[in-house]
Amino acid sequence: MADDDKKSMLYAFKPITDRLPAVSQPEGHVHFRTKMMWLVLILVLYFILTNVMIYGLDQENTIDLFASYRTIMAGAQGSLMHLGIGPIVTGSIIMQLFVGAKIIKLDLTDEEDKAVYQGFQKLLVIVMIIVEAVPQVYGYLVPSDNLISGMDGVWSGQGNTLAMLVIIIQLCFGSYLVFLMDETVSKWGVGSGISLFIAAGVAQQMFTGTLNWLPIDTSMAPSIANPPAGTIPKTIYFLTHIPASGMTNSGYYQQLLIAPPNPIIALIGTIVIFLFVAYAESMRIELPLAHESARGARGRYPIKLIYASNIPVILIAAVLANVSMFAMLFWSNPFFSDLPLLGHNPALGYYLEGASSPSGGLAWYLSTIQGIPDWLLPLFNDGYLPPGKSALQVLIRIFTYMGTMIFGSILFAKFWIDTTNMGPESVAEQIQGSGMQIPGFRRDPRILKKVLERYIPVVTVLSGAIVGALAAFADLLGTVGNSSGTGVLLAVGIMIQTYEAIGREQMMEMHPVMRGFFGN
């Protein structure tokens, strides 16, 4: 630990952070069956909470600020999970940036500093919950007339204010519950709760987008103009109700292949991304290791091509979601729209009446591209261009979005590696501490560090660039269930990593000596 005069200023918040509700750390080893029980239990609880709607909310007049990023935010509009993982990820980004830039001086290899870091991050998450909840209620999450009249009876003339306060409290409760669920999975389960919630939400959307047999407009009977919403049922419906000549003459092939919702090209794109990510996850460099004292005991340290995992994409997506949210607040919120320079500034982003997606400005250039109809058709047919936009602006939007995803993912990949003990120096110390060494090299952490520096920094940059490019490409191609390319990329990566984590847990259960190598 550093000397008292060199302690971080965050130690001043320790009396507060120590009293925040938290999930206790398990004492000793947690049995594999117990971990799986908690994993399944939290997953079931998550699905239940996504179907518990906010009490007193006018669902018909609600505008979802995170509509374009709903899958990545791992939430459900109008439910207790409305904010999803947004506050948690935003708080994590802020802490990573401050620690990475040395603004906050903490040594995350020191147990006490690490505890202070985690405690303050918890406090920051609570602040971000309030920051994201309050602006949404004032203008976008509208209380119902019944709730307002009921609160008016409690305090005459203040019914609307009290009604909004009731909704804010529910949002804060649901968001902090997500945080505690994430902690439960991390400490008592397998993997990360945030990743689990994202994968669960994306899998649900992909399943319904592929197999949903209900018509697009459920208030009307199925017809050629109102076919089943799922890709496979829609394809079967068209092929069984329209002759081959009619398909060609009436342009039904275009409707089947590229027109939303859930066209065939989106299903193909989803499968391609799934297979490519599964292949990329298996690509790795394996450094040979040998135990210094146990003769013949050998192993390998794998450095994956996707070394930084899918975390960089989650972080850059969270940043873009916040850009979209604040752009809408500055454009239409009664308070924010009156701010000088930022308020009602079309350069930041402007929105049509009742729309949750930007129609222009910086927010439009950074907004998620929703498949081929959103960019390819406008480039070749002026009739598909957004109002007031040219083909050149659409082209600029494509490169802006792709560039932001790629370079943002590279930046966050480097920050993530530096703050999670995955850098060359930390890995060298872990290998040294486990009693292993690279054959042919002197047993010295500095030597190990030099060897690892040949690979880890380069692979980190490649990892960020690849996941960012994959997510952007999948968004351009489109995905089933409107799950977004980023969502599919994350879901596939999370499923593979969870499977590997379960395999490691089983191996450690059978061979307890392996716990030391994995840091348990």
Cα torsion 497, 176, 50, 61: sign: negative
- Among 98-112, 215-229, 372-386, 404-418, name the one with the lowest average pLDDT: 98-112
pLDDT of the residue at 210: 94
Mean pLDDT to the nearest integer, 107-115: 80
- Residue 364 within any structural domain of the chain: no
pLDDT of the residue at 2: 45
Residue 458 reports pLDDT greater than 90? yes
With bands split at pLDDT 50, 70 and 90, how would you rate the model's confidence at 514?
Answer: low
Neighbour-count burial of 229, counting CB atoms closer than 10 A to its CB (0-12 exposed, 13-18 middle, 19+ buried): buried
Q: Are residues 132 and 242 in the same domain?
A: no
pLDDT above 90 covers a percentage of the chain that reads: 32
Starting at the edge strand found earlier in the chain, the sheet holding 284-291 runs 298-304, 284-291, 436-437
Residue 177 reports pLDDT greater than 90? yes
Residue 31 reports pLDDT greater than 70? yes
Q: Which residue range(s) make up the domain with 41?
A: 1-189
Q: Are residues 38 and 183 in the same domain?
A: yes
Q: Are residues 116 and 247 in the same domain?
A: no
Task: Please measure the distance between the N-terminal and C-terminal CA atoms of the chain and give it in whole angstroms.
Answer: 22
Q: Looking at per-residue confidence, does 337 or 512 come out higher?
A: 337
Mean pLDDT to the nearest integer, 206-211: 92
- Residue 100 within any structural domain of the chain: yes
Average pLDDT, the chain: 86
Residue 512 reports pLDDT greater than 70? no
Q: Are residues 19 and 125 in the same domain?
A: yes
Out of 134, 157, 189, a domain closes at 189
Q: Are residues 28 and 138 in the same domain?
A: yes
Out of 189, 221, 242, a domain closes at 189
- Residue 63 within any structural domain of the chain: yes
pLDDT of the residue at 29: 79
- Residue 28 within any structural domain of the chain: yes
- Among 339-353, 437-451, 458-472, name the one with the lowest average pLDDT: 437-451
Q: Calculate the dihedral angle through the C-alpha atoms of 205, 207, 210, 211, rounding to the nearest 10 degrees.
A: -120
Q: Looking at per-residue confidence, does 402 or 113 come out higher?
A: 402
Q: Are residues 225 and 180 in the same domain?
A: no
Q: CA 364, CA 361: separation in Å to the nearest integer? A: 5
Q: Are residues 82 and 143 in the same domain?
A: yes
With bands split at pLDDT 50, 70 and 90, how would you rate the model's confidence at 8?
Answer: confident
- Residue 237 within any structural domain of the chain: yes
- Residue 244 within any structural domain of the chain: yes
- Residue 77 within any structural domain of the chain: yes
For residue 80, what is the domain's CATH number? 1.10.3370.10
Residue 88 reports pLDDT greater than 50? yes
pLDDT in tens, 214-248: 999 888 999 888 999 999 999 999 889 888 777 76
Q: Are residues 13 and 79 in the same domain?
A: yes
Cis peptide before 261 (omega within 30 of 0): yes
For 434, residues 6+ apart whose C-beta sits below 8 A from its C-beta are: 516, 517
Residue 73 reports pLDDT greater than 60? yes
Q: CA 299, CA 288: separation in Å to the nearest integer? A: 6
- Among 180-184, 430-434, 515-519, name the one with the lowest average pLDDT: 515-519
pLDDT in tens, 423-452: 888 888 888 877 777 877 777 778 888 889
pLDDT of the residue at 126: 93
Q: CA 494, CA 471: separation in Å to the nearest integer? A: 14
Neighbour-count burial of 123, counting CB atoms closer than 10 A to its CB (0-12 exposed, 13-18 middle, 19+ buried): middle
Mean pLDDT to the nearest integer, 41-59: 93
Number of folded domains that form the chain: 2
Q: Looking at per-residue confidence, does 420 or 495 come out higher?
A: 495
With bands split at pLDDT 50, 70 and 90, how would you rate the model's confidence at 143?
Answer: very high
- Among 52-61, 115-124, 420-429, 449-458, name the one with the lowest average pLDDT: 420-429
pLDDT of the residue at 1: 44
Residue 466 and residue 192 in contact, taking contact as beta carbons nearer than 8 Å = no
